[in-house]
Amino acid sequence: MKTSRLLLAISLWFAAAGFSFGETKIRVGHFPNITHAQGLVAHALSRQGKGWFEQRLGPGTKIEWFIYNAGPSAMEAIFAKSIDLTYVGPGPALNAYTKSNGQEIRLIAGAANGGAGLIVQPDQNLKAAADFRGKKIATPQLGNTQDISCRAWLTAGGLKITQLGGDAQVIPTQNPDQLGLFKAKKIDAVWTVEPWLTRLEQEASGKVIVQEKDAATTVLVSSVKFLNEKRDLAKKFAQANAELTDWIEKNPEEAQRLIKAELLEETKSDMSPQLIAAAWKRIVFTAETPRAAVEKFMQNSVSAGFIKTAPDLSKLFENP
């Protein structure tokens, strides 16, 4: 009798353990942008039941994917404890780090460099920052990475730029809306990220005059809470991100096919393989932590007025 009770207790423990393992969820954010290739590819594989991260993080791990249009929204989700990790631009990550006095955000890996820039109307002679006096420039969202880069570039060129106006109007506009406004000549330029940069170039004959070739465009950040409570999973995720980045670099055609399918699922807009291939050429995928690029971007955030005083970044970078 005692033996049967013991066996029953053991079986119930394993059942409970299996159930708890089955409930291990990691909530991850990304954007529907080619510069978030790791998120797009992994999300696509999750839909197919071939999860890249799920297979590498251990039995019973489930990735819940969340899609954001721009960085500030993803950072709000980190603050609200709605997600654990996210691919995001360095601008919002720095702003969130500063806003929380270094208590909420840690940058644990790189993802992509380049793939962003400034594109102007084909019939306007806009070349230097001074040429944009009185002009309207769209960016994806107030305080996102491209928005900060745009404001810092204009300011460095001698223009006075405020969040509400100044010598030139920087107008936060969701990526999908930028193309229509650009075609209708309602905006003079767009500082944005791929694939929208190439779409504006191909579909609206825009001229790219600034390319951020070496700038960190996408990084992987974790909430401090997730790191503290599930550091082993954070470490495995960062390692799996490095392996996925390497796979994307070595298998560009397959990666682009998965990205095309995932973007269709997320945006309901079918993107041509040619467009993705063209945008791909502007991006460098790397899992290396872009410390120098982020430190430079911090100065841009100060110049743009989003950060008053450069913070101590000693706690921002963390290797799980």
Q: What contacts 114, CB < 8 A, 6 or more positions away?
A: 211, 212, 213, 214, 215, 217, 282, 283, 284
The pLDDT, as a whole number, for residue 226 is: 97
The pLDDT, as a whole number, for residue 141 is: 85
Relative orientation angle of helices 145-156 and 291-303, to the nearest 10 degrees: 60
Q: How far is CA 308 from CA 99, 123, 298, in A?
A: 11, 38, 11
Q: How far is CA 68 from CA 6, 40, 74, 223, 226, in A?
A: 50, 12, 6, 16, 20
Nearest to 310 by CA among 76, 102, 157, 155: 102
Rounded Cα distance between 268 and 315, Å, is 39
Q: Domain 116-211: what homologous superfamily? A: Periplasmic binding protein-like II (3.40.190.10)
The DSSP 8-state label assigned to residue 248 in this structure reads H
The pLDDT, as a whole number, for residue 3 is: 52
Q: Where are the domains of the chain?
A: 2-114+215-303, 116-211
pLDDT digits (tens, 9 = 90+) for 211-266: 988 889 999 999 999 999 999 999 999 999 999 999 999 999 999 999 999 999 99
**Residue 17: strand pairing partners:** none
The DSSP 8-state label assigned to residue 312 in this structure reads P
Ranges in the chain, pLDDT < 50:
1, 6-9, 12-21
The pLDDT, as a whole number, for residue 19 is: 44
| Alpha-carbon torsion (238, 69, 216, 245), positive or negative | positive
Q: How far is CA 3 from CA 9, 11, 12, 238, 255, in A?
A: 10, 12, 14, 45, 54
pLDDT digits (tens, 9 = 90+) for 50-86: 999 999 998 889 999 999 987 888 999 999 999 999 9
Rounded Cα distance between 137 and 147, Å, is 10
The DSSP 8-state label assigned to residue 233 in this structure reads H
Rounded Cα distance between 67 and 86, Å, is 9
Rounded Cα distance between 107 and 291, Å, is 9
Contact 248, 80 (CB under 8 A): no
Question: With a threshold of 0.85, does the pTM exceed it?
Answer: no
| Domain 2-114+215-303, CATH class in plain words | alpha beta
Three-state DSSP string of 258-307: HHHHHHHHHHCCCCCHHHHHHHHCCEEECCCCCHHHHHHHHHHHHHCCCC
Residue 68 tokens read as 């954001």
The pLDDT, as a whole number, for residue 107 is: 97
Using DSSP bridges, classify how beta strands 189-193 and 207-211 pair: parallel, antiparallel or unpaired: unpaired
Burial 230-256 (b: 16+ CB within 10 A, else e): beebbebbbebbbebbeebeeeeeebb
Contact 145, 219 (CB under 8 A): no
Q: Do domains 2-114+215-303 and 116-211 have the same CATH topology?
A: yes
Nearest to 219 by CA among 306, 300, 297: 297
Q: How far is CA 43 from CA 27, 49, 258, 301, in A?
A: 12, 10, 9, 31
Nearest to 87 by CA among 193, 199, 7: 193
Rounded Cα distance between 104 and 241, Å, is 21
Rounded Cα distance between 98 and 301, Å, is 11
